[in-house]
Amino acid sequence: MANVTVYFAANRVAQGPTTDWHSYGADIIPPTDASQITYAAAFVQGTDLTLENSGTIAAISNPQPGGFAAGFVQDIVGSGKNILIFIHGFANSFLNAIARAAYNREWLAASGTNAADTTVIAFSWPSLGQLIAAPPHLLPDDYLRDQSQAGRSAFHIASFFTNLQPMLTQVRNQGRRVFLLAHSMGNFALAGAVESWFAHNYSAGTLFDEVLLAAADERWDSFTLPMAARLSRLPQLTPRTSIYYSVRDIALYLSVAVNFILRLGHDGPIHETDTAVYPKVQFRMLNCAEVGDYNLLDPPDASHQYYRRSAKVRADIAAVMRNAPNLAGGVIQL
């Protein structure tokens, strides 16, 4: 078992002391007020890669509004490691989100690739978190409530990126790399944040060395929409995007039923083989439907969690992180 430091930002309203993780509930701060975003570090104990939902928060250090404490900025910039930014999905409480970030950090580090041994920074938006995304309990009311909160987090996440940008620039100037990993409904929140970024005239340019979209609960035409909508301008913030999808993802079947449009993480992007729309140097599309090196039914949402359950998918993400020179683009079946 491992102890992990997770640097985080949260746009959850704190109902009690910000040093107590129980305080961070499912209410959202004002949608256009970034000054109330809490930044801190959480110390997670007991992360065990053999246990799906392991990890507890032992303490929260130096919480403050508007940005990380100076010492944390120095720690992040001076860590000597690549940076992993994580945005969680549906039905994650604050504890779930932070423990999941710690698990992901340890899971990728366990690949044995030095580049995948990262410093992790999480953004926790106010999902209800009562059901931990088990498909039999994906009730439409809770789902739609979380989707609304994810959408209302767009400005906050864009502001979070702006806050991180000076640190990320320093990290990249040191020859290290920055990765953004969004899972499930975190991709819906990310799409809103990309829209907000450009709507507020933040500059284009490399913010992330690679964006990893895992089991994305976002519309499948997100990259092709007009008027800078959804993810259509994400390529202006990263030189490459890896999209992991699986038609066997049970949770996204239910999302399609609620949203009445195919999902990016279920069927892959619309027109996925059109290299004029998705140049191979900019897009990798990983069809994970036939990956069979994990238990597809245990836990119940395993088919939605393959990015952190399948060693084969992990190996691909690790290859991305070490910037493997012959990494293929276009459509790939894992």
pLDDT of residue 17: 97
In degrees, to the nearest 5, what angle opens at C-alpha 137 toward C-alphas 334 and 57? 80
CB 211 within 8 A of CB 177: no
Residue 205 neighbours by CB distance under 10 Å = 10
pLDDT of residue 129: 74
Residue 142's pLDDT band, with cuts at 50, 70 and 90, is confident
Q: What percentage of the chain carries pLDDT values higher than 70? A: 97
| pLDDT surpasses 80 at 246 | yes
Beta strands 119-124 and 241-245: pairing type? unpaired
- Which residue do the tokens 């959850």 mark? 12
Averaged over 228-232, what is the pLDDT? 94
pLDDT of residue 135: 47
CB 52 within 8 A of CB 9: no
pLDDT per residue as tens digits for the range 59-100: 999 999 999 999 999 999 999 999 999 999 999 999 999 999
- How far, CA to CA in Å, does 2 sit from each of 5, 9, 106, 126? 10, 22, 8, 26
Q: Which residue type sits at 110?
A: A
CATH number of 77-333: 3.40.50.1820
pLDDT of residue 132: 44
Q: Where are the domains of the chain?
A: 77-333
| pLDDT surpasses 80 at 138 | no
Among the ranges given (37-41, 49-53, 164-168), the one the predictor scored with the smallest mean pLDDT: 49-53
pLDDT of residue 287: 98
Nearest to 9 by CA among 142, 213, 189: 189
Residue 277 neighbours by CB distance under 10 Å = 13
Burial annotation 19-30 (CB, 10 A radius, 16+ → b, else e): eebebbbbebbe
Strands (E), the chain: 2-10, 12-14, 24-28, 38-47, 56-65, 83-87, 119-124, 178-183, 210-214, 241-245, 283-287, 330-333
pLDDT of residue 333: 95
How many Å apart are CA 312 and CA 318, to the nearest integer?
10
pLDDT per residue as tens digits for the range 266-290: 999 999 999 999 999 999 999 999 9
Q: What is the mean pLDDT of the chain?
A: 94
Residue 57 neighbours by CB distance under 10 Å = 19
Residue 130's pLDDT band, with cuts at 50, 70 and 90, is low
How many Å apart are CA 293 and CA 291, to the nearest integer?
6
Averaged over 126-133, what is the pLDDT? 69
Nearest to 289 by CA among 244, 251, 259, 232: 244
pLDDT of residue 136: 45
How many Å apart are CA 218 and CA 8, to the nearest integer?
23
Q: What percentage of the chain carries pLDDT values higher than 90? A: 89
| pLDDT surpasses 50 at 13 | yes
Instruction: Identify the DSSP state of 263.
Output: B
How many Å apart are CA 155 and CA 180, to the nearest integer?
17
How many Å apart are CA 243 and CA 129, to the nearest integer?
25
| pLDDT surpasses 80 at 49 | yes
pLDDT of residue 244: 98
